[in-house]
Amino acid sequence: MFDLLGEVVLGASWTGQTARLQTLLKRRAAAAGSSISSGGLGYAQSRATSHLTAEAALDERMGGLPHVAELQRLVREDAMDEVSAALLEIASHVFTSSAVSRCRLVAQKEGMPNAEAQLARFLESMPNAKATAEGLTLGDFVSNFSMAEAEKAFVAVPTQTNYCALALRTVPYAHPDAAPLYLLGQAMSTCFLHKEIREKGGAYGGGSNAVPTSGTFMFSSYRDPNSTATLDKFEEAIKWAASEGSLSLRDVEEAHLRAFKNLDAPRAPSARGAGLFAAGLDDASRQLFRDRLLACTVETLREVAERHLLGNTNSAAAIVGNAAAVPVTNGLGGWQVLGPDGRPLIPA
């Protein structure tokens, strides 16, 4: 495995492969373009959360609709020289031993010593020149990020239906309210949103979930014939959850079952240690989160809904939807109407 990685890292030719690069880029752009209709929910969620955290903003730039638009531009302009130069610059910056900050190995216990030795050999084979980067760096991007004002964006794409998302900034994983918010997301999905969005509204699906590692809370709907009406339902769900008597003890018990089903789902070997490596989640912090989940009551969920969701202005809404039936006007009610490239959509 490490021999193959070394061949890719050290032996790849980033220039002089115009025909191959053109083929790969066209395939990539075609796949990304066709994913807009089927993956609209992911793009809507990415757009909404990109206004709340630096990490989400970077993810939106590298994998959201702006990324799709950039791929389309590179193919349209046949910018193979530009791509080759960028690949060469990235490789010279990344594929150096000085750029490696941490490594994660997953192996059976008896195979770990050999894996560690091979990893060390692989790192030693990499150039040790100090990587340099010109212009905006990742550190600059993160440190310069500032959370935007509450935004509402309708991104018009060639699809016949809509994907809606409302994201709110809440609390990080270690906060005592992170676990109750995670449980609340499970309860709201089945006790309120399923009925209002799927059964009454006709969407294929919808729900809510907290993402403790990013400190966000997300509402979403999938293949939704409605759009702004669904956003109203999200707001109604918050008021419902913050009201006395909305949830029952049975609702909380069922939410516990769904939450622990997700937390205790089998993991592939490649996922072992991912939480510790990426987010610093050790066994103690995971167990504390589980204990806080188990301690949740009906009143606990009502309180966190009132404290962190009701009246939360650190939020952003996004709809990726039918370009032929945009239901809002650019500039009115705080709405932005955009094309897939993220630029304002000018009516014909």
Are residue 125 and residue 38 in the same domain, yes or no?
yes
For the chain, the domain total comes to 2
Q: Would you say residue 295 lies in a domain?
A: yes
Residues 195, 242: one domain? yes
pLDDT level of residue 120 (50, 70, 90 thresholds): very high
228 and 134, same domain (yes or no): no
pLDDT digits (tens, 9 = 90+) for 213-249: 999 999 999 999 999 999 999 999 999 999 999 999 9
Position 132 pLDDT exceeds 70 = no
Q: Are strands 335-338 and 151-157 parallel, antiparallel or unpaired?
A: parallel
Q: Looking at the predicted structure, is the pLDDT value of residue 204 above 90?
A: yes
- Which pLDDT band, with edges at 50, 70 and 90, does 116 fall under? very high
Q: Band of the pLDDT at 131, cuts 50, 70, 90?
A: low
Q: Domain range spanning residue 241?
A: 171-311
Strand 335-338 relative to strand 205-211, pairing: unpaired
Q: Which residue, 124, 143, 162, sits at the end of a domain?
A: 143
The reply to whether 192 and 307 lie within a common domain is: yes
- pLDDT value for 275: 87
Domain presence at residue 285: yes
Residue 320, pLDDT > 70, answer yes
Indicate if 136 and 192 belong to the same structural domain: no
Asked if residue 198 is part of any domain, the answer here is yes
DSSP 223: E
In this prediction, residues 292-297 reach a mean pLDDT of: 96
Instruction: Write out pLDDT tens, residues 68-98.
Output: 999 999 999 999 999 999 999 888 888 888 8
Whether residue 340 is contained in a domain is answered as no
Identify whether residues 223 and 117 lie together within a single domain.
no
β-pair partners for 165: 220, 318
Q: Is the pLDDT of residue 202 over 60?
A: yes
Q: Does any domain span residue 111?
A: yes
Q: What pLDDT does 229 receive? A: 94
User: 37 or 70, which is more confident?
Assistant: 70
The answer as to whether 34 is a domain residue is yes
Task: Find how far residue 240's CA is from the centre of its chain.
Answer: 26
Q: What per-residue confidence (pLDDT) applies to 348?
A: 45
Determine the pLDDT at residue 265: 87
Average pLDDT over all residues of the chain: 91
Question: Where does the pLDDT of residue 341 fall: very low under 50, low under 70, confident under 90, or very high at 90 and above?
Answer: confident
What's 186's domain CATH number? 3.30.830.10
Rounded mean pLDDT of 116-128? Answer: 92
CA–CA–CA angle 338, 343, 347 (5° rounding): 55
**Residue 143: is its pLDDT beyond 90?**
no
pLDDT higher at 142 or 211? 211
Q: Are residues 84 and 194 in the same domain?
A: no
Q: What is the pLDDT of residue 292?
A: 97
pLDDT above 70: residue 133: no
Lowest mean pLDDT among 103-112, 137-146, 151-160: 137-146
Question: Does 297 score more than 60 pLDDT?
Answer: yes
Q: By three-state DSSP, how is residue 273 classified?
A: coil
Q: What confidence score (pLDDT) does residue 135 get?
A: 63
**Quick check: is 199 in a domain?**
yes
pLDDT for res 173? 95
In a domain, 154, yes or no: no
Q: Give pLDDT, residue 347.
A: 57
Residue 89: what pLDDT? 87
Tokens 């610059």 sit on residue: 89
Q: Same structural domain for residues 193 and 114?
A: no
Q: What is the pLDDT of residue 76?
A: 95
Task: Say yes or no: 8 and 89 in one domain.
Answer: yes
Query: What's residue 154's pLDDT?
Result: 95
For 147-206, the DSSP string reads: PPPPEEEEEEES-SSEEEEEEEE---TTSTTHHHHHHHHHHHIIIIIIIIIIIIT--SEE
pLDDT of 255 above 70: yes
- Residues 100 and 177 occupy one common structural domain: no
Greater model confidence, 226 or 129: 226
Domain stops at, among 123, 143, 163 = 143
pLDDT at residue 296 is higher than 70: yes
pLDDT at 60 over 50: yes
b/e code 10-45 from CB counts within 10 Å (16+ = b) = eeeebeeeeeebeeebeeebeebbeebeeebbbbbb
Which of helix, strand or coil describes residue 85?
Answer: helix
Same domain, 205 and 254: yes
Q: Are residues 257 and 293 in the same domain?
A: yes
Q: What distances in angstroms separate CA 186 from CA 39, 240, 317, one per listed residue?
A: 22, 14, 20
